[in-house]
């Protein structure tokens, strides 16, 4: 994601929510979204290395060990967590990782937090934006969890204006953010 530690919130779940993996077009050229599978590790690693290199944290070494631990945890399918991948022409081109939990000061419904959305930076920018918007549509997964809102954490600091345009295209509402010193 391309902004400076911002948080955006997407509205509550739609009345009719379909979170089944999207189907590819008949010619196989369409974008398909599905859950992370073990076979996706190296493709996702490549995309997350690109992503890391654009962030404000790029001076910190990328940790393959830590990513492998995340893969193990995500693939164990813990409750209230999802890792979605976008596949185009048989290639993994993007990943989004989200969890659902309750707000710390309320007994109300769950909310979903999207920790990361990373798209293959070797693709054209307009294409990346469309894939990003498709994964943000993964907020429908949160509806299955009964989440009232989806929060998208934007922490890369690489392109705040473009990220703001993308998030507004999803009808997200900017509610503040974090600062990095």
Domain with residue 111: its CATH number is 3.40.630.30
User: Is residue 7 domain-resident?
Assistant: no
How far apart (Å, rounded) are the C-alpha atoms in residues 181 and 174? 21
How far apart (Å, rounded) are the C-alpha atoms in residues 51 and 118? 6
Please indicate whether residue 84 or residue 175 has the higher confidence score (pLDDT): 84
- Coil vs helix vs strand at 145: coil
Query: For 47-62, what is the mean pLDDT?
Result: 92
User: Is residue 1 domain-resident?
Assistant: no
Find the distance separating the first CA and the last CA of the chain, reported in whole Å. 19
Domain that holds residue 125: 31-180
User: Is residue 13 domain-resident?
Assistant: no
Highest mean pLDDT pick, 79-83, 134-138, 149-153: 79-83
In the chain, the number of structural domains is 1
Question: pTM of the predicted model, to two decimals?
Answer: 0.76
Residue 20 has pLDDT above 90, yes or no: no
């Amino acid at each position: 994601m391309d902004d400076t530690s911002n948080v955006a919130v997407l509205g509550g779940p739609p009345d009719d929510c379909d979170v089944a993996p999207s189907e590819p077009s008949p010619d196989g050229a369409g974008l398909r979204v599905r859950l992370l599978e073990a076979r996706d590790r190296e493709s996702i690693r490549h995309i997350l290395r690109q992503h890391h290199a654009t962030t404000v944290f790029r001076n910190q070494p990328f940790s393959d060990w830590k990513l492998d631990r995340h893969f193990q945890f995500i693939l164990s399918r813990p409750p209230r967590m999802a890792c979605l991948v976008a596949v185009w022409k048989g290639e993994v081109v993007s990943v989004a990782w989200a969890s659902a939990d309750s707000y710390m000061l309320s007994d109300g419904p769950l909310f979903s937090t999207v920790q990361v959305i990373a798209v293959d930076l070797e693709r054209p920018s307009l294409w990346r934006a469309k894939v990003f918007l498709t994964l943000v549509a993964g907020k429908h997964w949160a509806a299955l969890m009964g989440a009232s809102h989806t929060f998208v954490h934007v922490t890369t600091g690489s392109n705040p204006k473009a990220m703001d345009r993308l998030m507004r295209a999803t009808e997200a509402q900017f509610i503040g953010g974090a600062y990095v010193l």
